[in-house]
Amino acid sequence: MINYIIKRLLALIPILIGVAVIVFLIVHLIPGDPAQTMLGERATDAALARLREQMGLNDPLYIQFWRYIKDLLRGDMGRSIMSNNPVITELQARFPATLELSFFAIIFAVGVGVPAGIFASINQNSWFDNLSMVIALMGVSMPIFWLGLMFIWLFAVQLGWFPPSSRLGVGIDFTPITNLYVVDSIIQLNFTALVDILHHLVLPAIALGTIPMAIIARMTRSSMLEVLRKDYIRTAFAKGLQRKVVIFKHALKNALVPIITVVGLQFGVLLGGAVMTETIFSWPGLGKYLVDAIYARDFPVVQGGILFFATVFVLVNLIVDLSYALVDPRIQYE
């Protein structure tokens, strides 16, 4: 098992190097540069030339690339051109927001998707089965930004139940530590803030979680159906075991592997896919920030940020793979 993990980790290295190279090429192939964005309308030729010189943008591409790789190997991702903060600081400030949002989205997706899938599978072809599967199909077919817009319109504008944007209301006394606001407010026992933070999380988490919820519900249903058809389950029923026991102890356990796969993959997708949700809900997370950084040609931020995202993504996939063994002892890693 340990050997397998090490092998898998080593295999990640060339992938991440590839990501680093491609990111570098992409950001430098885009016309325009940070000097341009900084000066805006004031970008006269002379002013631009001066600024570029100061930023080292006039060096040939391979020198810039060499500098970037050398710094990267030393663990230095550079400083943001726009904010002058170290890139690592920017990531630390923003990634927790994305992580928190994705986490609650997946909680919602699993919390609704798995029970709905199970219930649909044991009542196959009932009205609930049909209805929930139609809803699930609609869910996968929905543009997430549109759902976000509708949520804001209905729940924030019309009904006023939830705030339309951001992570925390004004006037709430709260000091972030880890930038995972929920965690921070709990360890500080600041429950006023906690309530407000959760209140802000509801709409974006549900909007972001809807597509995974639909996928998970469908996956749970079909995987349960398959297991329920198996002989040993039929035997269990035939032996007169209690229905609940059969379903939850025997069937669900065996249906779990594909469900976990999907949940894990969806979590990875969510982290990257938070871009649209963060845009709609003005959520100060990493996805939206990276989009802005691409537009601003903030080279160090884009390079560092995407590399970071890719690392998280491949690690999540690895963990998903490994977790099979926990659920299903028959799977062995060599």
78 Rama sector, left if φ>0, alpha if ψ -120 to 50, beta otherwise: left
Determine the angle formed by the axes of helices 299-327 and 2-29, rounding to 10 degrees: 150
Please name the residue that has the structure tokens 């030729």: 45
Q: How many CB atoms lie within 10 A of CB 292?
A: 14
Q: Is 255 exposed, middle or buried (0-12, 13-18, 19+ CB in 10 A)?
A: buried
Q: Report the DSSP beta bridge partners of residue 86.
A: 79
Pick between residue 142 and residue 198 the one whose CB is nearest to another protein: 142
Pick between residue 9 and residue 245 the one whose CB is nearest to another protein: 9
Pick between residue 245 and residue 319 the one whose CB is nearest to another protein: 319
From the CB of 3, what's the least distance to another protein, in Å?
21
User: What are the tokens at 28?
Assistant: 């430098």
**CA–centroid distance for 191 within its chain:** 26
- CA trace torsion 157, 98, 221, 261 (10° rounding): 170
From the CB of 309, what's the least distance to another protein, in Å?
5
User: What are the tokens at 220?
Assistant: 């749970």
Question: Which amino acid, residue 64?
Answer: Q
From the CB of 155, what's the least distance to another protein, in Å?
12
From the CB of 316, what's the least distance to another protein, in Å?
11
Reported as type and span, the H/E element at residue 263 is helix 252-280
Query: What 3-state DSSP class applies to 30?
Result: coil
Query: What 3-state DSSP class applies to 10?
Result: helix
Pick between residue 313 and residue 333 the one whose CB is nearest to another protein: 313
From the CB of 104, what's the least distance to another protein, in Å?
19
Question: Which amino acid, residue 74?
Answer: R
Pick between residue 218 and residue 250 the one whose CB is nearest to another protein: 218
In the chain, the largest separation of any two C-alpha atoms, in whole Å, equals 87
Pick between residue 214 and residue 247 the one whose CB is nearest to another protein: 214
From the CB of 301, what's the least distance to another protein, in Å?
12
From the CB of 181, what's the least distance to another protein, in Å?
11
Q: What distance, in Å, lies between the first and last C-alpha atoms of the chain?
A: 6
Pick between residue 229 and residue 234 the one whose CB is nearest to another protein: 229
Pick between residue 166 and residue 242 the one whose CB is nearest to another protein: 166
From the CB of 64, what's the least distance to another protein, in Å?
17
Pick between residue 193 and residue 236 the one whose CB is nearest to another protein: 193
From the CB of 87, what's the least distance to another protein, in Å?
13
Query: What 3-state DSSP class applies to 86?
Result: strand
Note whether 82 and 296 are within 8 A (CB).
yes
